[in-house]
Amino acid sequence: MGRSRKKGNPVNGWLVLDKPEGITSTQALSKARYLLNAKKAGHAGTLDPSATGILPLAFGEGTKTIPYCQDAEKTYQFTVKWGSATNTDDAEGEIIQASEKRPTKDELLKVMQRYVGQIEQVPPQFSAIKIDGQRAYALARKGEEVEISARSVIVYELNLLSFSEDQAMFECQCSKGTYIRSLARDMGEDLGCFGHIIQLRRTAVGLFDEKSAISLDKLEQMLETAPIEDVLLPVEAPLDDIPALVLTDSEAARLKNGQSVALFSKDGQNRLQCAGLDPKTADNTVLVRTVRKPVALAHVKGVEVSPVRILNL
């Protein structure tokens, strides 16, 4: 018996979802996929169930561009409560340490400086890190304390938005892989007062921000009157910061058949230069398109263009 086909329509594009509190990223994706009746979908960057904010969702051919969104910088706003640490490093967990000490604003500003730039941090015990093939949170729920190795991440900016005796609100711009819960935990330990996240919101993932985000309720309302094409962003939406190279229809056809294209001609080299690529030294990932539509993600080496991921649009 042959495999049954996945249900749904071949929907292509991106949706910038404003994830609500209380559901997992997978649940949010499933709901959006159901509303769009999409055959294929994926999300770029998990948010904790208690967190809200930007969760980019890719559909159809858009899923081929997920890695370019996952690798993007992210921005968060979060509030830390001082005086206690929890086993989850947020308000969902049990208090495991407590202190009567509270930081002064000057003490906090001084400690914050240690967390800008490339830093080492240990992910939370309750995280999706895999330990011997199992998720850390699954082991933690069984009461097992596992050793998680520190990893290098980059905090580009860490700003204090508000401060009171018992809590502080921050904004952080950081690299992929950064755990904001770990950041709060570690600052609390450095301050000698402990601390955990009580509010977390992601406000940007790469080029996607709150301006283009919609809620699940809003999505459902929009789909009652608007076609799907008007609701979704294009497949190439997260690729605006990589060069776009225009090929002719015949060159694009060769690329889509898995063949490399050499742009030796004067016109070809002009097109490389228009894309910001030097025909003599180019070594870049590019979005290849014709005048009408995106064709593929490709690698340019000198004047040779080789396919990486074909976009079937």
Catalytic residues: 48
- Alpha carbons 23 and 37: distance in angstroms, whole number: 20
- Alpha carbons 202 and 97: distance in angstroms, whole number: 27
Q: Between β-strands 283-289 and 244-246, what pairing exists: parallel, antiparallel or unpaired?
A: parallel
Element (H, E) at 27: helix 25-36
* Chain centroid to CA 180: 14
For 152, counting Cβ atoms within 10 Å of its Cβ (0-12 exposed, 13-18 middle, 19+ buried), the class is exposed
Select from 79, 69, 71, 73 the least CA-distant residue to 171. 79
Enumerate the β-bridge partners of residue 58. 14, 42
